[in-house]
């Protein structure tokens, strides 16, 4: 298996392959950068089709975490861990503790937390074996990051809608939400409170039925959701949903959602731009969970009010991205990458000095 010549390798500092025969743990931890501070990124458990697919996910997600932390103004770097396995079948306390021991061996270069397939309760079990787990349940912890991610996405949608559609409020706004996990459902609740009209798609029938009952949402098949004639398409499931096949189908004017790695390739950001669709770069708009959990590392400890106030960086940063993209005639995705790279370069020069 190649690493240094892997298409998702972007000068990563460290890639670790983990195996514990007793618990069945098979995992990858990727640290992209510790230039701004220790790497922080959640642990994802997923039934990957192959080891190569798991490595690709770890490399790409860890790189995105570096950009996310930089654009959120955090003194943190980017990392990610992925565990190969079905979380409904293969997850055990022994496996979680084995993972925790491996994180502990990294000595604080990498902090982890919950991600897809994991929960705050799982993090508590892993935390029995390491000091470097955030987002555990209980007093003094940030807990479930999903509500904060949803709040940040809502603020980002408001900025994007104002910039592209000239609308100052969300009442009557037509939004298609793809994926009704913790963040997607929380986002639907916030949008519903503000009077938005919702279309939802998810493979879980119980979740879509719940969204229809609670929010009056119209349920559509997952394969059709991106093609709906709506104001905003909000991807809140897994990544790669914006690609050469789906972008021509889009019926929206704004794409703004919580999913990581929404663009299948960098070229897809330009495809959206050429279609006149405003894209809110995923690692900017979905940084709420990271901002929240990072507050646990504050010298005075976690404070929810401080975490909520810190979310204000998301609409400010998005507004800066959109304005610069418009001034330069470039896709917002390219501009966001450039802004993050400029911040990292400045940090590197400061360290060298």
Could you tell me which residues come within 8 angstroms of residue 197 by beta carbon, excluding any fewer than 6 positions away?
Answer: 172, 173, 174, 175
Residue 80: active-site member: yes
Long-range Cβ contacts of 2-6 (<8 Å, 24+ apart): 3/55, 6/55, 6/56, 6/59
Residue with the two structure tokens 């061996």: 105
Q: Please tell me which residue in 68, 80, 91, 136 is annotated as part of the active site.
A: 80
Is 341 in contact with 289 (CB distance < 8 Å)? no
Nearest Cα to 232, choosing from 198, 259, 262, 266? Answer: 198
According to DSSP, the residues that pair with 279 across neighbouring strands are 255
Strand 25-33, strand 14-20: pairing = antiparallel
Q: Residue 178 and residue 203: Cα distance in Å, rounded?
A: 10
Contacts 24+ apart (CB under 8 A), 237-245: 237/178, 237/179, 237/181, 237/184, 237/202, 238/116, 238/179, 239/60, 239/264, 240/264, 241/178, 242/268, 242/271, 242/272, 242/279, 243/268, 244/268, 244/271
- 262 three-state secondary structure: coil
Other C-beta atoms lying within 10 Å of the C-beta of residue 235: 26
Residue 276 · residue 297 · CB < 8 Å? no
Query: Which sequence positions are flagged as catalytic?
Result: 80
């Amino acid at each position: 298996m190649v690493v240094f010549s892997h298409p998702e390798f972007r000068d990563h500092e460290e890639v670790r392959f983990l195996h514990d025969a007793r618990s069945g743990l098979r995992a990858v931890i990727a640290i992209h950068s510790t230039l701004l501070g220790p790497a922080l990124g959640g642990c994802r458990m997923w039934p990957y089709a192959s080891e190569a697919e798991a490595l690709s996910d770890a490399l790409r997600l860890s790189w995105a975490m570096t950009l996310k932390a930089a654009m959120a103004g955090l003194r943190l770097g980017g990392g990610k861990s992925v565990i190969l396995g079905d979380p409904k079948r293969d997850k055990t306390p022994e496996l979680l503790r084995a993972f925790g021991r491996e994180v502990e061996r990294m000595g604080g270069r990498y902090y982890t937390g919950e991600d897809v397939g994991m929960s705050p309760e799982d993090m508590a079990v892993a935390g029995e074996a390491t000091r470097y787990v955030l987002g555990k349940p209980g007093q003094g912890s940030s807990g479930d990051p999903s509500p904060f991610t949803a709040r940040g996405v809502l603020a980002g949608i408001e900025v994007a809608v104002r910039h592209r559609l000239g609308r100052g409020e969300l009442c009557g706004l037509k939004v298609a939400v793809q994926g009704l996990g913790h963040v997607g459902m929380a986002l639907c609740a916030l949008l519903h409170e503000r009077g938005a009209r919702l279309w939802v798609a998810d493979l879980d029938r119980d979740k879509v039925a719940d969204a229809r009952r609670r929010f009056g949402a119209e349920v559509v098949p997952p394969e059709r959701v991106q093609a709906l004639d709506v104001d905003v398409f909000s991807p809140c499931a897994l990544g790669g949903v914006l690609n050469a096949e789906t972008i021509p189908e889009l019926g929206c004017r704004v794409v703004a959602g919580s999913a990581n790695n929404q663009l299948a390739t960098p070229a897809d950001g330009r495809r959206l731009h050429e279609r006149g669709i405003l894209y809110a770069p995923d690692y900017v708009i979905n940084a709420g969970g990271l901002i929240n959990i990072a507050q646990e590392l504050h010298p005075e400890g976690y404070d929810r009010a401080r975490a909520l106030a810190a979310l204000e960086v998301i609409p400010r940063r998005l507004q800066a991205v959109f304005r610069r993209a418009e001034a330069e005639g470039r896709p917002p995705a390219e501009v966001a990458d450039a802004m993050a790279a400029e911040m990292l370069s400045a940090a590197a020069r400061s360290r060298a000095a």
